[in-house]
Structure 1
Amino acid sequence: MRQETPERSEWVARKFLYLVAGLIVLAIAGALTYRFYGNDLIRMTLVPKEEFRAQPDVPGKAYDDRAMWLARPDLPGNPALWTPAGFAPRATPGGAAIFFIHPTSYVSRDHWNAPIDDAETNDRAALFLRGQASAFNEAGEIWAPRYRQATFGAFLTSVADAERALQLAYEDVDAAFDSFLRQIAADRPIILAGHSQGALHLTRLLRDRVAKDPTLARRIVAAYVVGWPVSRATDLPRMGLPECTAADQAGCLLSWESFAEPADLSLIVDTYDMTRGFDGQPRRGTPMVCTNPLTGTADATAPATANLGTLFPAADLSTADLTPARVPARCGERGFLFIGEAPDVGPYVLPGNNYHVYDYSLFWANVRADAGRRLAAWRPVKKAAKRASGKRR
């Protein structure tokens, strides 16, 4: 495996950012064209034309090999250990074990699923870990698996091949989660987190694993399902954790999707309203879970002064500075998170004033504080459960 170096990391950052900028220009083909044909152009540009190719399952215990991970405690050059000036990763053993599922970093239309050893795709994923998973590195040790992720275009079509691609990706994530559980202490607290495609796979882990295993559920400090909609009515009751309603609550779920104003929500809402929830009922018209990351509570509004720090990229795009009190947040229509006038945090805002790429970095310092607060709240809950168990015996 190729080792990360500061020089290579900087080069990868520049290459990725320029690539994304080019893709956006090509995809929307100018503001006027996008206004009339934008979503269709994006689909034409990014949805694969080939048929889905079935692939074998990952071998048993494959994820016991550290080469299958982008981040884990014993991995040299761990990108999740990055921090802006004034912050540092946890310096003492302990804390939580964090299982982080990275967002889509494969944008090719050549295949429905990324090759797990694709260097360019994994370099992009590592960049995402620097800006997203790093928010959790004070709370404990971060584990982030490589997986045969579905390509970006799989989210822009309803063809059956897209579902097959996502299923393959989820099976890798599920296998990685098994290995993660085997390699951490049996009583270690766990934080689950993901973004975008990673958050989608996290919803299934919650439904399929956490909701069906009370012992595992008691170990969950919090689940950060960020950049993917969760229906309060049709999804949440089947996911094994309640919605976080208090800032110091443990064992609960957070979710948000960020838009500046004016916002065009149509691409998300139209897709969401055509789907069914985990209970089999239509999601149409149901509200989404909205956690305000500035307050850690549901359906809240907070001014920019409550923002402890947003990541703003440096001029050379190799790092970022943390600036407080610049971005407000309020939960609004249908459960989307609105951040007011569009902040200039980078050029990768998606059509409709969708700040999806920046869901974590807009609130990086608040997410960091939130994870620490919930971990501190989890410990007394665990001690109380042990005392109660001892009395019953």
Structure 2
Amino acid sequence: MARKFLYLIAAIILLILGAGVVYQLFPGWIARVAFVPSAEFEQQAAAAPNAYDDPAMWFARPGLADDPTAWRPDPDGAVTPGPDSAEAQSGDQLLPPAGAADAPAPAFPKGNAAVFFVHPTSYYSKSSWNAPLDDADANHRAGLFMRGMASAFADAGEMWAPRYRQATLGAFLASDRVTAGKAIDAAYRDVEQAFDAFVAAIPANKPVILAGHSQGALHLTMLLKNRVAGTPLAKRIVAAYIVGWPVSVDTDIEAMGLPACQNPDQKGCILSWATFAEPADPEMVLGAYDGTIGFDGRPRADTRMLCTNPLTGTPDTVATADANIGTLKPVDGFKAGSLVPGVIGARCDEERGLLLIGDANVAKDYAPNYVLPGNNYHVFDITLFWANVRADVLRRLASFEGKPSPVPPAAAPAETPTS
């Protein structure tokens, strides 16, 4: 019996080792098996013309209770509710971690902008190509993502974050690009309709900030191209944060109607980055990127991606860790968190425009789960630089309004690469 048990243990070990080797050699194949829907694509009916007049179609909008973007981390580990949150309005406080001091008042008053934030993919099911609006798991994850990501923009003004029938994660891994494209297009139509409702609801002279991550950032690129470029609205854009989705400097920027940001207080411009620790293996990302066509009709293959260093607010620069004024260290799945300064540096690589953050062993403590193959820190594109992103948007808004900046100047680029 003991010998049979040892044989069983040995077989399990071999299976585990084999699975690990397969995952390392064929991560794309594993991901497709795990996430690509086996169901037929179902055409999504257009939302009702006034669908986004309903507050229930938004995760965040002015006057909405339980706004996940009102969450704030605190340098000491306490959690600060935003001024518009239900907790703040009722006088209750979110509970800080055990032993932490009471949460202080928010560091910055609300700005005067309207912020349109599109959340990343939070629907991972294989049962359909587009998420039902009432999917509990997807909505829960979306709320967590907005706590960690959208909260960095929320001090700039009133937050608007739509619910939409997002394409499932597998749509971005599928070899059937026709079906995947239908799912992504269906999701974009919801976002576009929400954006039109957002623009109609805010005052005509109100500054606008666009921000999104991953799938949300993809939809923002289309909004810029289809709804902003060449219109009066373009003059009201403080900045567009297209984070975690590649933007080709050669084939995309011009069609999006705004230039890439070149200095840390420039207004009316685009920022974008995609984060990898080292040693980086971006083959999966670059392989997909190189197979696409840019907005000007030319292939994106071998073109450079826009790389804005979030620590300096400028493209193609290097910043050491002391320029990072606060990495968000999540606790309990982003239900809480603290800001830790001076840990993560960043540099834009010279070849393709990836944002590299140095040794993966340093970064892993701030990204406890969900690091993708190739040391891809996609999920943490914003949280690794949370305080710098917040300062960046406040600085650009002050420049747009011709007011003194409420935050110090951005760090100057370093002269030597960070490691």
Q: Give 1:57's match in structure 2, choosing from 40, 43, 46.
A: 46
Q: C-alpha offsets along residues 15-43 of structure 1, whole Å, 9 cap, x if unaligned?
A: xxxxxxxxxxxxx9853221222210111
- Give runs of ≥4 in structure 1 deviating > 6 Å: none
Matched letter for residue 57 of structure 1: A
Say whether residues 1:154 and 2:171 are aligned partners. Answer: yes
Say whether residues 1:291 and 2:305 are aligned partners. Answer: no
SS at match of 2:328: strand
Say whether residues 1:335 and 2:353 are aligned partners. Answer: yes
Contact 2:147–2:334 (CA<8 Å) still a contact in 1? no
Say whether residues 1:304 and 2:321 are aligned partners. Answer: yes
Q: Give 2:401's match in structure 1, choosing from 367, 379, 387.
A: 379
SS at match of 1:225: strand
Q: For residue 30 of structure 2, what is the aligned residue in structure 1?
A: 41
Contact 2:148–2:334 (CA<8 Å) still a contact in 1? no
Say whether residues 1:272 and 2:289 are aligned partners. Answer: yes
Contact 2:148–2:383 (CA<8 Å) still a contact in 1? yes
Q: C-alpha offsets along residues 340-370 of structure 1, whole Å, 9 cap, x if unaligned?
A: 0111211210010000000000000000000
Q: Judging changes above 3 Å, is the alpha-carbon distance between structure 1 residues 204 and 292 closer, same or farther for their aligned structure 2 residues?
A: same
Q: For residue 176 of structure 1, what is the aligned residue in structure 2?
A: 194
Say whether residues 1:321 and 2:338 are aligned partners. Answer: yes
Q: Give 1:355's match in structure 2, choosing from 361, 377, 381.
A: 377
Shift of 1:89: 3.8
Query: How many residues of Structure 1 are paired with residues of Structure 2 in the alignment?
Result: 353
Q: C-alpha offsets along residues 173-223 of structure 1, whole Å, 9 cap, x if unaligned?
A: 00000110111111100000000000000000001111131x100000000
Q: Percent identity?
A: 56
Shift of 1:331: 0.3
Shift of 1:276: 0.5
SS at match of 1:277: coil
Alignment partners' CA distance in 1, 2:164 and 2:38:
22
Contact 1:233–1:287 (CA<8 Å) still a contact in 2? yes
Matched letter for residue 153 of structure 1: G
* Structure with greater proportional helix content: 1
SS at match of 2:205: coil
**Structure 2 segments unaligned to the other structure (5+ residues):** 1-16, 84-107, 404-419
Larger Rg: 2
Q: Give 2:388's match in structure 1, choosing from 366, 374, 377.
A: 366
SS at match of 1:334: coil
Matched letter for residue 246 of structure 1: N
SS at match of 2:117: strand
Shift of 1:379: 1.3
Output aligned runs, 1:65-76, within 5 Å: 65-76=54-65
Q: C-alpha offsets along residues 75-95 of structure 1, whole Å, 9 cap, x if unaligned?
A: 111000000125664675651
Shift of 1:302: 0.1
Matched letter for residue 69 of structure 1: W
Matched letter for residue 179 of structure 1: A
Q: Judging changes above 3 Å, is the alpha-carbon distance between structure 1 residues 338 and 29 closer, same or farther for their aligned structure 2 residues?
A: farther
Contact 1:88–1:138 (CA<8 Å) still a contact in 2? no
Q: Judging changes above 3 Å, is the alpha-carbon distance between structure 1 residues 287 and 72 closer, same or farther for their aligned structure 2 residues?
A: same
Q: Give RMSD over aligned pairs.
A: 1.6
Q: C-alpha offsets along residues 251-300 of structure 1, whole Å, 9 cap, x if unaligned?
A: 00000000000011100111111111000000011100000000000100
SS at match of 1:39: helix
SS at match of 1:143: strand
TM-score w.r.t. length of structure 1? 0.87
Contact 2:245–2:273 (CA<8 Å) still a contact in 1? yes
SS at match of 1:335: coil
Alignment partners' CA distance in 2, 1:365 and 1:306:
11
TM-score w.r.t. length of structure 2? 0.82
Q: Give 1:209's match in structure 2, choosing from 210, 219, 227.
A: 227
